[in-house]
Amino acid sequence: MTDCATSRNKEPTRPADAGPTAAPGVFVTDPASSLEPAASETVSIGFQRIEKTAKAGWIRTQFDAVADRYDFMNTLLSGGIHHLWKRTAIRWLAPKPGDRILDLCGGTGDLALSAARITGTPSSVVLCDINRNMMNAGRRKPAGRELRRRLSWIQGDAEALPFADNSLDAAMAGFGIRNLTDMDAGLAEIHRVLRPGGVFVCLEFSRPATPVFAALYDLYSFYLMPVLGGLITGSRSAYTYLPESIRLFPDPPALADRLHAAGFRDVDWIRLTDGIAALHRGRKPAGAQDAARQTAFAAPIPARRMRRK
């Protein structure tokens, strides 16, 4: 899971000693702020309900508790296969040198750092996350130090992004939009900041497609995962929330519909590892001047894909 809860600060802040700022023309200091929820509304945090205004703080607290062990837990709980999923996501994104790329809900930066190795230019990749501790854990990685000039770390609100309209070439989100207070608002924001022809890739947990495997996975995720999480990180609640939030998250066809409703077109998706995770990709409709990017986007992708125009 990646922290992508939303804060209600009008202006995003950067972590102390956060390195270079975002590329000129991308970062703005007056993001949309019309997303304040009514205090009486409730939303889910796993199988529980909480006031909508309190979810961001609750999610942030969970990630504060696990930030230093987050990467280790990802590798332990997935048997290391999350690295393969992330490499597949980068292939789907197909970044090019010089691209301006957003890693939304980027956490400790696995996807952002992979993209930064390809884009090459200073501040070409912007990681935006609400949780300062998660970003600081990422910046302490050897790769985070090595690529610090290519990557900006911005603390900001996923539902009111601090970036100008049509300012980014591509965006990605890994295991994060599931934690949004209002996922549709977040998808609309991603669509807003992408340039026409820009690509969005979403990697998120899902549910296994094979019934026997799904039953075994439920036993593992609902019973063993919270125990391991509690023993290693001291936060059983974070790893109780994780499988519950996955169970309530839209399945791949439903998420494809949500992307389409947000304005994305040519929406593709595939299941990974029998559906433990799913990868979606959509494109912001482009004009004739974006034909080259559309050609690159139309490259063949793995079998078992689904597409919605």
Domain with 265 in it: 52-308
Higher-confidence position of 36 and 54: 54
pLDDT of residue 148: 85
Closest to 242 measured CA to CA, from 178, 165, 170: 178
Query: Residue 55 pLDDT > 70, yes or no?
Result: yes
pLDDT of residue 187: 98
Answer whether residue 304 is part of any domain: yes
Instruction: Compute the average pLDDT of residues 251-261.
Output: 98
Residue 250 burial (CB count, 10 A): 16
Residue 216 sits at φ, ψ, to 5 deg, of -65, -40
Q: Could you read off the pLDDT of 207-216 as tens digits, one per residue?
A: 999 999 999 9
Percent of the chain with pLDDT over 90: 75
pLDDT of residue 144: 85
pLDDT of residue 296: 39
pLDDT of residue 220: 98
Query: Residue 118 pLDDT > 50, yes or no?
Result: yes
User: Domain total for the chain?
Assistant: 1
Instruction: Compute the average pLDDT of residues 280-306.
Output: 53
pLDDT of residue 36: 52
pTM value > 0.85: no
Query: Residue 217 pLDDT > 80, yes or no?
Result: yes
Residue 33 sits at φ, ψ, to 5 deg, of -135, 30
Answer whether residue 41 is part of any domain: no
Answer whether residue 228 is part of any domain: yes
Q: Pull the structure tokens for residue 247.
A: 């169970």
Query: Residue 39 pLDDT > 70, yes or no?
Result: no
CB 140 within 8 A of CB 165: no
Instruction: Compute the average pLDDT of residues 154-167.
Output: 96
For residue 146, name the pLDDT band (cuts at 50, 70, 90): confident
Instruction: Compute the average pLDDT of residues 237-253.
Output: 97
Answer whether residue 246 is part of any domain: yes
Average pLDDT, the chain: 85
Query: Residue 116 pLDDT > 70, yes or no?
Result: yes
For residue 145, name the pLDDT band (cuts at 50, 70, 90): confident
pLDDT of residue 138: 95
Query: Residue 53 pLDDT > 60, yes or no?
Result: yes
Answer whether residue 291 is part of any domain: yes
pLDDT of residue 75: 97
pLDDT of residue 308: 52
CA angle, corner 139, sides to 120 and 203, nearest 5?
A: 70
CATH number of the domain within which 183 lies:
3.40.50.150
Answer whether residue 303 is part of any domain: yes
Higher-confidence position of 20 and 58: 58
Instruction: Compute the average pLDDT of residues 125-148.
Output: 93
Answer whether residue 144 is part of any domain: yes
Answer whether residue 14 is part of any domain: no
pLDDT of residue 228: 97
